[in-house]
Amino acid sequence: QSALTQPASVSGSPGQSITISCTGTSGDVGSYNLVSWYQQHPGKVPKLMIYEANKRPSGISTRFSGSKSGNTASLTISGLQAEDEAHYYCCSYVAGTTLVLFGGGTKVTVL
Partner 1 sequence: QVQLVQSGGEVKKPGASVRVSCKASGYTFTSYGISWVRQAPGQGPEWVGWINTFNGDTNYAQKNQDRVTMTTDTSTRTAYMDLRSLTSDDTAVYYCARAAFPYHMDVWGKGTTVTVSS
Applying CB under 8 A, does 82 fall inside the site for partner 1?
no
Burial class of residue 23, CB neighbours in 10 A (0-12, 13-18, 19+): middle
- DSSP letter at 79 equals S
Among 70, 81, 100, 109, binds partner 1 (CB under 8 A): 100
Q: Any contact of residue 27 with partner 1 (CB under 8 A)?
A: no
Q: Does 34 bind partner 1 (CB under 8 A)?
A: yes
Q: Among residues 14, 15, 57, 70, which is the contact residue for partner 1, using CB under 8 A?
A: 57
